[in-house]
Amino acid sequence: MFPKLRIKKAAKQYKKNWYERVEVSRHLADVEGEHYHYVLFLNVMGIPKGALAVRVDGSIPDLDTAKQVVFRVSSYNNIMQFAGKSKGGMKDILKRPIKTMRTVENQVKENFGEKIPAGHPLHKELTVVNGLE
């Protein structure tokens, strides 16, 4: 049996309605050395109504693992979809972390100056953040 058919067959038992479509994402998520497919349940209009993680062999993982798979693949899909938009897109994603980092650097300098006390519990982290090490 083809892997995609095995995944769809495993997911069908989780459909809430007979008319829901089962779509298997081409993206795989690797969690703790195992590969998982991301399955999306769509209504008649194509609107996502649920997601499921299915191991490559067709078995269903525990809830915690499934949450990790769904989060990883859906986050990746959202980033790629946003990056593909012509206006803004990836430029905005790139600017945000840099701006946040500058704000954190300024706050550390405001509170500690150029020298972070060696006895401070976050000495190493704050020194790295400020580029002093």
**Under-70 pLDDT residues of the chain:** 1-2, 76-100, 129-133
User: What is the end-to-end Cα distance of the chain in Å, rounded?
Assistant: 56
- Which residues are bridge partners to 41 per DSSP? 22, 50
In this structure, are 123 and 62 located in the same domain? no
- pTM for the model stands at 0.54
pLDDT of 1 reads 46
In this structure, are 65 and 7 located in the same domain? yes
In this structure, are 79 and 97 located in the same domain? no
Tally the domains of the chain. 2
pLDDT of 85 reads 58
Domain that holds residue 101: 90-129
Q: How far apart are CA 105 and CA 103, in angstroms?
A: 5
